[in-house]
Amino acid sequence: MSTLEIKDLHVSITTEQGVKNILKGVSLTIKTGETHAIMGPNGSGKSTLASTIAGHPRYTVDSGSITLDGEDVLAMTVDQRARAGLFLAMQYPVEIPGVTMTNFLRTAKTAIDGEAPKLRTWTKDVKEAMAQLRIEPEFAQRNVNEGFSGGEKKRHEILQLELLKPKFAILDETDSGLDVDALKVVSEGVNRAIAEGGLGTMLITHYTRILRYIKPDFVHVFVDGNIAEQGGPELADRLEDEGYDRYLADAQATA
């Protein structure tokens, strides 16, 4: 079993207007086998948390720690973090000209495993995973995310999750912008990865909709750069009924 531990994390970014504090003391522990939903309104800092774990250079960690089985994640480069077992499904996957999906997936798999995958089984695995996510075979020869629709991009993020088999998956609004059919396909993919065992999941979402398909063990309400409340799946139901207004009012009152 592995543990991803975030302790009292403070993160800021520097913009033209100056330094802006975004995360204000986030603490969260995720173990493999667990699924944590992080729910919160737009602008509360969910993507910042996800990007900081992955090591995006834009974000400055002012204090606090992130460790993976005791290892200092913040000391690792972006690619080292991925090789250590962290995976970020991005809210806005970028397009990469000149690199086909096939080439990209093989290169990533080789980097993560430290050796090239056996060609025969690998090709079969990729084909199967694509079929399960209802991705047309022709996508294998297309450039990474180039000209993909929003839904196609999200499916490809989950394709990578299934093929790269990380220890921890951070899914940043993988559900947003999907129609119901696509949402089901994507959720099934995540559930397959969870069912294989040994995966800890941080499911970041704005809506409760995806929680009908992916069952969280824990729910954290994220407001203004911090966790405002935590609970079990029942907390998600309450959010569905009440929305975030209550928390926002609180945040304003204390501001």
Partner 1 sequence: MTELTEEKTIDAADGKVWSQGFIKGMTEEGEQLSDLNPESGPLGGSAVKAHSHGDSHGGGVGVPDSSRAGRLTSYKLADFPLITGREEDWRFTPLKRLRGLDRVGVKGQQLDGPAPAVEVTKPDAVTVETVGRGDARIGRAGIPEDRVAAAAWENFAEATVVTLPAEYQGTAEDVTTLTLTGAGTTPAASHILVHAKQFATGVVVLDHRGTAVLSENVEILVEDGANLTVVSIQDWDDDAVHASAQHIQVGRDAKVKHVVINLGGNLLRTTPSARYAGTGAEVEMYGLYFADAGQHLEQRLFVDHSTNNCKSRVTYKGALQGDGAHAVWIGDVLIRKAAEGTDTYEMNRNLILTQGARADSVPNLEIETGMIEGAGHASATGRFDDEQLFYLQARGIPEDVARRLVVRGFLNEVIQHIKVPALEERMREAVERELAAGTL
**Interface ranges with ligand ADP (CB under 6 A):** 13, 15, 22, 40, 42-48, 58
Residue closer to Mg ion (CB basis): 126 or 158: 158
Give min distance, CB of 90 to ligand ADP, in A.
11
Give min distance, CB of 52 to ligand ADP, in A.
9
- Under rule CB under 8 A, residue 93 binds partner 1: yes
List the x/- string, 67-96, binding to Mg ion by CB under 5 A: ------------------------x-----
Residue closer to ligand ADP (CB basis): 4 or 50: 50
- Residue from 71, 72, 95, 242 binding partner 1 (CB under 8 A): 95
Question: Among Mg ion, ligand ADP, partner 1, none, what does residue 116 contact (CB within 5–8 Å per kind)?
Answer: none
| Beta-carbon contacts of residue 96 (< 8 Å; ≥ 6 apart) | 104, 143, 144, 145, 146
Q: Where are the alpha helices (DSSP H) in the chain?
A: 46-54, 78-84, 101-113, 119-132, 150-164, 180-195, 233-242, 245-254
Return d(Cα 22, Cα 45) in angstroms, integer.
6
Question: Among Mg ion, partner 1, ligand ADP, none, what does residue 45 contact (CB within 5–8 Å per kind)?
Answer: ligand ADP
Q: What sign results for the dihedral spanned by CA atoms 74, 200, 110, 162?
A: negative
In the window 42-71, what residues touch partner 1 (CB under 8 A)? Answer: 54-57
Residue closer to ligand ADP (CB basis): 88 or 112: 88
Question: Among Mg ion, partner 1, ligand ADP, none, what does residue 56 contact (CB within 5–8 Å per kind)?
Answer: partner 1
Q: Are the CB atoms for 183 and 201 separated by under 8 Å?
A: no
Return d(Cα 92, Cα 87) in angstroms, integer.
14
Cβ atoms within 10 Å of 28's Cβ, excluding its own: 20
Integer CA distances (angstroms), 205 to 35, 46, 81, 215, in order: 13, 8, 23, 13
| Burial readout 65-76 (b: 16 or more C-beta within 10 A, e: otherwise) | ebbbeeeebeeb
- Under rule CB under 8 A, residue 125 binds partner 1: no
Question: Among Mg ion, partner 1, ligand ADP, none, what does residue 97 contact (CB within 5–8 Å per kind)?
Answer: partner 1
Give min distance, CB of 251 to ligand ADP, in A.
13
Return d(Cα 155, Cα 150) in angstroms, integer.
9
Give min distance, CB of 40 to ligand ADP, in A.
6
Residue closer to ligand ADP (CB basis): 41 or 117: 41
What is the three-class DSSP state of 67?
strand
DSSP 167: S
In the complex, which residues of this chain contact Mg ion (CB under 5 A)? 46-47, 91
